[in-house]
Amino acid sequence: MASLQQSPAIKGAKVLMVGAGGIGCELLKTLALSGFEDIHIIDMDTIEVSNLNRQFLFRQKHVGQSKAKVARDAVLRFRPHISITSHHANVKDSSFNVDFFKQFNVVLNGLDNLDARRHVNRLCLAAEVPLVESGTTGFLGQVSVHVKGRTDCYECNPKPSPKTYPVCTITSTPSKFVHCIVWAKELLFAKLFGDKNQDNDLNVRSNDSTGSSEQTEDVFERKADESVEHYGRRIYDHVFGYNIEQALSNEETWKNRNKPRPIYSSDVISAELMQQNGSSDKAGSADDPLSVSAMASLGLKNPQDLWSLMDNSRVFFEALKLFFGKREKEIGSLGFDKDDQLAVEFVTAAANIRAASFGIPLHSLFEAKGIAGNIVHAVATTNAIVAGLIVIEAIKVLQKDFDSYRMSYCLEHVTQKMLIMPVQPFEPNKSCCVCSETPLTLEINTNHSKLRDFVEKIVKAKLSMTSPLIMHGSSLLYEVGDDLDEAMIANYSANLEKVLSSLPSPVTSGTMLTVEDLLQEFTCNINIKHREEFDEENEPDGMVLLGWTQVPTKPKDDDDKPHTGNGVSTSKASETDPAVAQADAGVVKINVEAIDASGKKRKGPDSKDISLDPPSNVADEATAANHKKVQQIDEDEEDLVVLDQWDIDTNKKQKLR
């Protein structure tokens, strides 16, 4: 270590760290102790109580403060002679442009989402600065090196897409607890506490065309002078009773499924008990909304206890009462937040009541929060190991030891007598639209789709551009920026509402669009191919981007099987699988060329070998000792992961990108 600390390559290096969370804390400490003397940190987050069990640079007194600043101050206490510059900001801010990145010798990532990783990857390519990527989840971890022209870039190989469920599965035929969580979080919670004008599939869709007059009203609207208790019972009876009865009226649906049972509030909790339900004095202060708790009000203490149907009903009514009693000003603008205790309690209770109706096992609040908040619990030791591997690769990069670069995988179980598996990096993918500038093809109905659809669903959602500019030949169709005058803004806004074929420079089949992000210095050419119709079930966006390196979602999953089944839907609700955290993560299995024991071969994956194979539930994921699959899981601080089994004998190598 002493000789490394004196190395000119290390002492003179200027390093950029992106992320000061679980990996970031360990990484900053390791960099400082390894002799690095000029370090910059970017992190937009502030410290939360839940961070304190593994992000050891932070203490209780730091809650609410900038992670980057506190981490800097903590390390300077035992390495006061080095320079650490903290930036409490978003790495996607315009101030962190290509010129900013060019000042560094290496960039080290410890990010928590795919979108930010892509952004940093493109800036590193444009600035020609080496990037070391990393991620952990539980006992699993990964570190990879990306150097322009020598290795693949971060976007060369497919990334898993979020798990989606047909809306009719969520609203009509749930078979897993995660379906109940999605229903409670994305539909019921949003309907009661979110934007009232937002479309929502929660209202019952009855086959009885006559329908009662009551059902023509918005049953979720609280009537004038209606007590919260009466409103709560009405909502409860509607979603857990009436809606279930309406679903049962379609006998064809239940021929091969277990029938649900309607649950009415009067069957579970008496009017007398409702009057005695909870003590608002114990629920928390309205001055601190996130501390308000139905559990505290009801005297329920252990979040790992499994609540009965009555307990869940009591929490449901108490949470509703507290929202209207202590947080009424927020109603109409609330979105689910895993750090909002009352929101988690309400979603847990509602999901459990629905699960009871459909014969699905109930879950504790602790388990439900993990699913609803896409939480994969972190292991501090894994973060420390991965941080050490990042520094090792960073030193190789600085010493220009190209032949020694390795992607390293931390495994949960010993494989080939190893818990850390080193593999040579892949070569650049010649068809990558980012580092090889290969054109993409977009199949789209140019007579129906608007420019806004193209911008939102392709340019921003799939290509992760933040400051896009769209051109057709020499005609500028759309641009964003602070230097635009009012006439230009009005013109581009008008273009957004026009269908592609009606733009000033019409976009039709055979058109080549050039899309550029000035901040990322990334340009992509897209060939437009007109297509009349799309499968609403499997192509819900109404457009298909070809040549883009993301794993496609399976046309059908286990939810479509008749025995537990969920019917066909024309729309989908997006939600991460229980074992997969964040909307941009998933489970992917990729078959590539074999490696020998030394890990020397480095051919990239063939997209035709890609298939999705998600675990059935959290319990299966936790108990399976050696899955023959690769997992990528984004967690609240660090992200990504791994290879779980290597099969040399069958000449197959599994690898996660």
User: Does 116 carry a binding-site annotation?
Assistant: yes
Count of alpha carbons within 13 angstroms of residue 325, beta-carbon side:
22
Number of domains in the chain: 2
In a domain, 365, yes or no: no
pLDDT band at 609 (very low <50, low <70, confident <90, very high): very low
User: Residue 412 belongs to what H/E stretch?
Assistant: strand 407-415
Q: What is the pLDDT of residues 564-592, one digit of tens each?
A: 333 323 234 444 333 333 323 222 332 33
- The average pLDDT across 527-548 equals 87
Q: Which of 546, 575, 599 is the last residue of a domain?
A: 546
Give the pLDDT confidence score for residue 482 in this predicted structure.
78
Take residue 591 and report the two structure tokens written for it: 């078959």
Q: Tell which residue, 353, 357, 375, has the closest CA to residue 366.
A: 375
Using the predicted structure, report yes or no on whether residue 118 has a pLDDT greater than 80: yes
Give the pLDDT confidence score for residue 573 in this predicted structure.
45
User: Does 572 carry a binding-site annotation?
Assistant: no
Give the pLDDT confidence score for residue 154 in this predicted structure.
92
Give the pLDDT confidence score for residue 554 in this predicted structure.
43
User: Does 545 carry a binding-site annotation?
Assistant: no
Which residues make beta-bridge pairs with 130? none
| pLDDT top residue among 627 and 604 | 604
Which residues make beta-bridge pairs with 529? 443
User: Does 24 carry a binding-site annotation?
Assistant: yes
Give the pLDDT confidence score for residue 80 in this predicted structure.
96
CATH number at residue 449: 3.10.290.20
Residues 452, 477: Cα–Cα separation, whole Å: 11
Looking at 463-511, which runs of residues are DSSP E strands?
Answer: 468-472, 475-479
Give the pLDDT confidence score for residue 518 in this predicted structure.
85
Residues 17, 88: Cα–Cα separation, whole Å: 12
In a domain, 410, yes or no: no
pLDDT band at 558 (very low <50, low <70, confident <90, very high): very low
- Which residue matches tokens 């315009």? 94
Give the least confident one: 50-64, 393-407, 537-551.
537-551
Give the pLDDT confidence score for residue 395 in this predicted structure.
96
User: Does 432 carry a binding-site annotation?
Assistant: yes
User: Does 482 carry a binding-site annotation?
Assistant: no
Residues 293 and 181 in one domain: yes
Residues 338 and 468 in one domain: no
Q: What is the pLDDT of residues 267-315, one digit of tens each?
A: 998 877 777 665 655 555 556 667 788 999 898 989 999 999 999 999 9
What's the chain's average pLDDT? 79
Query: 50-64, 199-213, 579-593: which has the highest mean pLDDT?
Result: 50-64
Give the pLDDT confidence score for residue 649 in this predicted structure.
36
Is the pTM here over 0.85, yes or no?
Answer: no
| pLDDT top residue among 459 and 224 | 459
User: Does 156 carry a binding-site annotation?
Assistant: yes
- The average pLDDT across 510-532 equals 92
User: Does 43 carry a binding-site annotation?
Assistant: yes
In a domain, 287, yes or no: yes
191 phi and psi angles, rounded to 5 deg: -70, -40
| 545 close to 458: Cβ distance less than 8 angstroms | yes
In a domain, 210, yes or no: yes
Using the predicted structure, report yes or no on whether residue 425 has a pLDDT greater than 80: yes
User: Does 232 carry a binding-site annotation?
Assistant: no
> Annotated catalytic sites, by residue?
168
143 phi and psi angles, rounded to 5 deg: -135, 135
CATH number at residue 241: 1.10.10.520
Give the pLDDT confidence score for residue 251 in this predicted structure.
83
Residues 328 and 455 in one domain: no
Residues 335 and 211 in one domain: yes
In a domain, 486, yes or no: yes
Residues 202 and 298 in one domain: yes
Whole domain around residue 473: which residue ranges?
Answer: 440-546
Give the pLDDT confidence score for residue 115 in this predicted structure.
85
User: Does 90 carry a binding-site annotation?
Assistant: no
Q: Which of 316, 331, 359 is the last residue of a domain?
A: 359
Residues 355 and 448 in one domain: no
pLDDT band at 170 (very low <50, low <70, confident <90, very high): confident
Q: What is the pLDDT of residues 355-413, one digit of tens each?
A: 999 999 999 999 999 888 776 667 899 999 999 999 999 999 999 999 999 999 999 88
- The average pLDDT across 247-267 equals 88
- The average pLDDT across 579-608 equals 37
| pLDDT top residue among 650 and 573 | 573
- The average pLDDT across 247-252 equals 84
Residues 345 and 211 in one domain: yes
| 572 close to 559: Cβ distance less than 8 angstroms | no
550 phi and psi angles, rounded to 5 deg: -135, 140
Residues 326 and 452 in one domain: no
Q: Tell which residue, 97, 41, 11, 91, has the closest CA to residue 517.
A: 97
| 350 close to 240: Cβ distance less than 8 angstroms | no
In a domain, 407, yes or no: no
- The average pLDDT across 500-528 equals 92
| pLDDT top residue among 437 and 599 | 437
In a domain, 513, yes or no: yes
Q: Sign of the C-alpha dihedral, residues 343, 347, 353, 354?
A: positive
Residues 466 and 347 in one domain: no
In a domain, 150, yes or no: no
User: Does 114 carry a binding-site annotation?
Assistant: yes
Take residue 479 and report the two structure tokens written for it: 């641009």
> Which letter, b or e, does each residue of 387-426 get, where b requires 16 or more Cβ atoms within 10 Å of its Cβ?
bbbbbbbbbbbbeeeeeebbbbbbbbeebeeeebbebbbb
Q: Residue 389 is which amino acid?
A: L
- The average pLDDT across 166-174 equals 79
Residues 292 and 203 in one domain: yes
Q: Which three-class secondary structure state does DSSP give residue 164?
A: strand
- The average pLDDT across 38-49 equals 91
- The average pLDDT across 175-198 equals 88
Residues 135, 121: Cα–Cα separation, whole Å: 15
Using the predicted structure, report yes or no on whether residue 193 has a pLDDT greater than 50: yes
User: Residue 339 belongs to what H/E stretch?
Assistant: none
Using the predicted structure, report yes or no on whether residue 192 has a pLDDT greater than 60: yes
| pLDDT top residue among 636 and 268 | 268
Residues 337 and 475 in one domain: no
Using the predicted structure, report yes or no on whether residue 632 has a pLDDT greater than 60: no
Q: What is the DSSP letter of 46?
A: B
Give the pLDDT confidence score for residue 433 in this predicted structure.
87
Which residues make beta-bridge pairs with 46? 66
Q: Which of 305, 338, 359 is the last residue of a domain?
A: 359
Residues 217 and 347 in one domain: yes
